[in-house]
Structures are given as structure tokens and as C-alpha cells.
Amino acid sequence: MNVKDIAKQARRSAAELAAAPTERKNQALKLMGEKLSERAGEVLSANEEDLCRAEGDGLEQKLVARLRFGEDKISSRVRCLEKIAALEDPVGQTFAAGRRPNGLEVARVRVPLGVILMIYEARPHVTVNAGAFCLKSGNAAILRGGSEARQCNEMLGALWRESLTEAGLPEDAVQVVSGSHEEIGELLTLDEYVDLVIPRGGKGLIRSIAEKSRIPVIKHFEGVCHVYIDDGADVARAIEIAIDSKCLMPEVCNAMETVLVAEGASGAMGDIVEAFSRHGVTVRGCERTRELAEGVEPADEDDWRTEYLDTVVSIRVVGDVADAIEHINKYGSHHTDSIVTDSESRARRFLAGVDSGVVLVNASTMFCDGESLGMGAEIGISTDKLHARGPMGLEELTTYKFAIRGDGHVMGNWNG
């Protein structure tokens, strides 16, 4: 692949896409959905080839599972495309607009960022989602999935090209690329053509991209998420929130990994541990936890920093809300953390003190997702602070320009 050509084609497409009417972008999304349904057989057999190769290569079973793109996944992608088509188009929206005392009309107008490069592992569904998100927000996309998903991604890339062409949009607006590590390295230097890099995957991948890239990166790091059970919290409610946060989807980044229990609430430890065991979750705990309940494996310092993404939980007893905040800011990943409490003052303290993108009171960490938060859907969850934090929707893929209208306004007096 010629890296520079890909980047230049993306830049050219972006200029066209920025001015494309919403209907045309929605039309391309609709066509992509239709093609995915009609040609599901081809997509499934491309995925089958990837799966065979992956098993032959002895890929880890967890990764093979992520690689699978079955009929259920295809129909959920079709629904996702419909959902994104139904979302409001952020491009052209104005905000913070008004008339200045001197009569100047000042507005900020949302415009696309330009060209977005997504780098991700396995999961071919990202090739559909990320393409749709970039397209709807008027950005050209360069999608670089993992080599293990190559066949399926190429097939999806072909469907994108057809959908774009039939909708009258530039066919290079969504480019699915493979390319070696060196080629991706080269792509990451082309800040003249690419405006943003979003890496999704393991910590190592993300860090290496952030270090190499000359293009701004919004990192989507792991989620070491917490539920803190406060002194005086309703025990049944606390357990339900902790179980939901851990067990509903243990494999997602906003699943909880560590329960912090206030010393004053530690009388409920037996019930807490019992509930996790009943749901098939292995419990590791600090010494105090192990004094309070049976069947708890010892947890060490490493556990507090670990994203299990599995049916394993760590539990630690802390003094009070201040200790909980300290633990979370020290060991967590600034992602999603929740307090279960009956105290308004401690709820406020937790909301203010925890330095994470999403902080919840009396709710499961599962609610850290774009749809729950009213953004329609999300392209990912940023663990960065610049530009976008927490779930990223369409708006987070735009920037703005100041549009200013005067009536011959000047600052100096040139008649003197």
C-alpha cells in the first residue's frame, strides 16, 4: 500500500464530505445496512476464513471469540447503522452564538475534524461502527483493523466503497487498510493529512501509537472501574449495583473490577462475597476482607491495578469516602467509578473528588455508554482529558470554527 496516497485520498474525500448534505450521508448508511444483510453470506465466509487462520495460528481463545462476526453480530450492526442514520447531524450546528455590544454577530459552527485514523484489534464490527460514525460526522475514515481480521475487514471495506459510490459520495471516504507496522508508523507521521488518531486495543498498542504519532491521539485505555459501598448504604441496593457492574458484561471496559467497602459497611461483607460467588465470580480480597468472609483469595497490590475483563473481582475495605477517592485516583484508570450511598454530602464529595471521565451515584458502571448518556451511540470511551472525555458520540468527532459577521467593522479610526 502507498501510505501517502491513502492519506491524500482521505484528505480529498474529507473536503467533499464536509459539505455533503445529511440525506446523502444517511443514504450511504442505509445502503451499507442493506448490503450487510443481503450479502451476509459473503461476510460470514470471509470471517470464517479469518477464524480458521486464527485457530491454525493458535490465537488465544479470548481473541478468537472477539474475532467472530456471526449472524447475530451482522443484524446488530444493521440496527446500529439505522440508529446512527437516525441521529442528528452535528455538522453545521451553531452554539455559543450571540451579538456583541459593537454589533458583531459571533457564532461557533460545528465542522468535521477532517480525517480520522482508527487503529484497532480483532472485532470486525468496529469496521462498520467506526466507519458509520466518521461518515455521519462528515469525517473521512482510515480504518486499520487487526491482521487477524483481514478477510472480513476487506469484505466490509468493499461494501463501504459500494455504498458510498451509490450514494454519490467519494468512495475513499471510508478506507479499510491493512499495511505493516512500518507503514502504519509512516501514516502516523502524516499530520498534514490526518487530523486525529483513535487507537483501541491493549495498553501496549495504545501507548506505542501515542509515542510514535505526530498526529493528535485520543486514547481509549483500559477501565479499572470501581464501586464504592459507603457507610450506611442500603446493602441490597449496593449488592445489586456491584453485581450488575461486574456480571452483566465482564468483558467491556466499563465493567467494574474492584469493590471498595467502607469499614462502617463491612458488616455486609459476607453477603457481598456470597452474591459474587452465586454469580460465578471469583473473589480476591485484602486481609480485612478475608477476615470478614469465607472463600476469598488473597489480593495483592497488582490486583488493584488489574483490568480482569473476566468473572473475577477484587474487594478492599477502606476507612471512608476519602480513602475510597484516594484509592480510585491512585489505582484506577480515570474511566468509570460509582458510589452507593445514602449521604448527599458524601455523594458530592465523591463526584468532585474522583478524577474520572464518568462518576456515578447509586447507579451501575454499565451506564457509562453513549446510548445511556443520551449521545445515541458511541465510537469509544476516551480516557484522555483533551477534546473528549468519557463516551464519544458524533459531536465529539467535530471541531468548530468561529463565524463572525460584521457590517464594515474595524477597530481603529482611519479617518483621522
CB of 188 to a copy of itself, least distance (A): 12
Helices (H), 141-233: 150-166, 181-187, 203-212
- Residue 217, SS3 per DSSP: strand
Interface pick for a copy of itself out of 1, 52, 65, 248 (rule CB under 8 A)? 248
- Give which of 310, 201, 315, 200 is closest to 249, Cα–Cα: 310
**Spatial separation of the C-alpha atoms in residues 316 and 10, rounded to whole Å:** 49
Distance of CA 361 to the CA centre of its chain: 21
Number of residues this chain uses to bind a copy of itself (CB under 8 A): 66
Three-class SS string for 271-301?
A: HHHHHHHHCCCEEEECHHHHHHCCCCEECCH
Considering beta carbons, is residue 50 or 257 the nearer one to a copy of itself?
Answer: 257
Q: Which of 4, 24, 62, 214 binds a copy of itself (CB under 8 A)?
A: 214
Interface stretch with a copy of itself, choices 130-138, 212-220, 286-294, 310-318 (CB under 8 A): 212-220
Residue in 81, 196, 268, 324 binding a copy of itself, rule: CB under 8 A = 196
From CA 272, how far away is CA 283, in angstroms rounded? 10
Single residue of 42, 186, 234, 323 touching a copy of itself by CB under 8 A: 234
Candidates 158-166, 265-273, 304-312, 389-397; binding stretch for a copy of itself (CB under 8 A):
389-397
- What is the distance between the alpha carbons of residues 50 and 149, in angstroms, rounded to a whole number? 6
Among 98, 204, 280, 416, binds a copy of itself (CB under 8 A): 98
Q: How far apart are CA 314 and CA 308, in angstroms?
A: 9
Instruction: Determine phi and psi for 227, rounding to 5 degrees.
Output: -120, 125
Q: Which of 29, 113, 156, 176 binds a copy of itself (CB under 8 A)?
A: 113
Q: Does 199 bind a copy of itself (CB under 8 A)?
A: no
Smallest distance, Å, CB 387 to a copy of itself? 4
Report the distance separating Cα 236 and Cα 258, nearest Å. Answer: 18
For CA atoms 166, 172, 176, 179, give the dihedral sign: positive
Cα→Cα distances 239→82, 129, 174, 215, 275, Å:
36, 34, 44, 44, 7
Binding region for a copy of itself (CB under 8 A) out of 50-58, 106-114, 152-160, 290-298: 106-114
**x/- track of binding to a copy of itself for residues 151-180 (CB under 8 A):** ------------------------------
Which of 204, 302, 414, 416 is in the footprint of a copy of itself by CB under 8 A?
414
What part of residues 331-370 is at the interface with a copy of itself (CB under 8 A)? 347, 351-352, 355-364, 366-368
Closer residue to a copy of itself, CB minimum distance, 56 or 416: 416
Q: Which helix (H) or strand (E) holds 81?
A: helix 71-86
Q: Which of 178, 179, 157, 161 is nearest to 170 (CA)?
A: 161
Q: Cβ closer to a copy of itself: 10 or 159? A: 10
409: contact with a copy of itself by CB under 8 A: yes
Which of 57, 72, 211, 302 touches a copy of itself (CB under 8 A)? 211
Q: Which residues bind a copy of itself (CB under 8 A)?
A: 19, 96, 98, 100, 102, 104, 106, 109, 113-114, 195-196, 210-211, 214, 216, 218, 234, 237, 240-241, 243-244, 247-248, 347, 351-352, 355-364, 366-368, 372-374, 384-387, 389-391, 399-412, 414
